[in-house]
Structure 1
Amino acid sequence: MSAAGDRLQDTARQTALALPDVSHSRPFAPQLDVYKVAGKVFLIVTDDPDEQIITVKCEPEHARAQVQRHTSITPGRYLDKRHWITLGPGPGITKRLITEAVEGSYDLVVERLPRRDRPR
């Protein structure tokens, strides 16, 4: 079953906040919820009822595959279009896909942190 926009955003927020050492703020604009680990962004949730999307970090090869596989996944809206993807509501966008995208983004960021900065 596909996730509607509000469920997409809620699932992404809940997934992010369940991960270790995650912080949440709105440093860029009032309508952008930004989730970070060790000061590094891994999720942006657009808090706009007319544009219910999330943006996550992704390996470039995986990003290209996701964009080709799903019409409602596009290159990252706000960040590097090679390393980020944006998910909107639509066919194939399930709770599981959203959860995996958020957790995968978090893992990518954590893997690139110096050991001393990684969540314990």
Structure 2
Amino acid sequence: MDFSSVQKYLLSKHQAKETFPSGPDVAVYKVCHKMFATLTQESGVARVNLKCDPEEAVALRAKYPAVQPGHHMNKKHWNTVFLDSTIPDNEIQRMIDNSYELVINNLPSDELARLLASKP
């Protein structure tokens, strides 16, 4: 996946919003005001930060050289995924889905209920 396809996939998540709180260089993706991803491009290389279960985060880093501890994030709970074409698209989509699910599953019950009720 490239920058554009990751951006589209992130925005396809239910109620996902793209914001730029630190300026135009880093997009922050939130659901119910909680961040589940960031996306940026530097020196022609795109990268996405994704929330991850700590054990899976370590396993993904061991499996894929393009997965590193979260850049400017809590290294235990976040991975940075370099979009360098070395990771299959379906695996990147799975990581995005997982990040989104981790965030919504930790929402307060009333917020989660509102989110689920608004799903088409």
Question: Quick check: TM above 0.5?
Answer: yes
Instruction: Please give the per-residue CA displacement for 1:30-76, whole angstroms capped at 9, x wherever unaligned.
Output: 20011000101001001435331111000000000000111111000
Once superposed, what is the RMSD of the aligned Cα atoms? Answer: 1.5
Instruction: Please give the per-residue CA displacement for 1:64-106, whole angstroms capped at 9, x wherever unaligned.
Output: 0000111111000021011000111346412111111111100
**Alpha-carbon distance in structure 2 between the residues aligned to 1:113 and 1:44:** 19
Greater C-alpha Rg? 2
Q: Does 1:103 align with 2:97?
A: yes
Q: Does 1:19 align with 2:13?
A: yes
Normalised TM-score (structure 2): 0.87
Instruction: Please give the per-residue CA displacement for 1:93-120, whole angstroms capped at 9, x wherever unaligned.
Output: 1211111111110000000001211222
Show the counterpart of 1:68.
62
**Alpha-carbon distance in structure 1 between the residues aligned to 2:22 and 2:91:** 26
Task: List 4+ stretches of structure 1 deviating above 6 A.
Answer: none
Contact conserved, 1:22 with 1:35, CA < 8 A, in 2? yes
Matches within 5 A, 1:13-92: 13-90=7-84, 92=86
**Alpha-carbon distance in structure 1 between the residues aligned to 2:43 and 2:4:** 12
- For residues 26 and 88 of structure 1, do their structure 2 counterparts lie closer, same or farther at Cα, with a shift above 3 Å needed? same
Contact conserved, 2:48 with 2:83, CA < 8 A, in 1? no
In the alignment, structure 2 segments of 5+ residues that lack a partner are none
Question: Normalized per residue, which structure has more strand?
Answer: 2
Provide the aligned length of Structure 1 versus Structure 2.
114
Aligned residue for 1:52, secondary structure, equals strand
In the alignment, structure 1 segments of 5+ residues that lack a partner are none
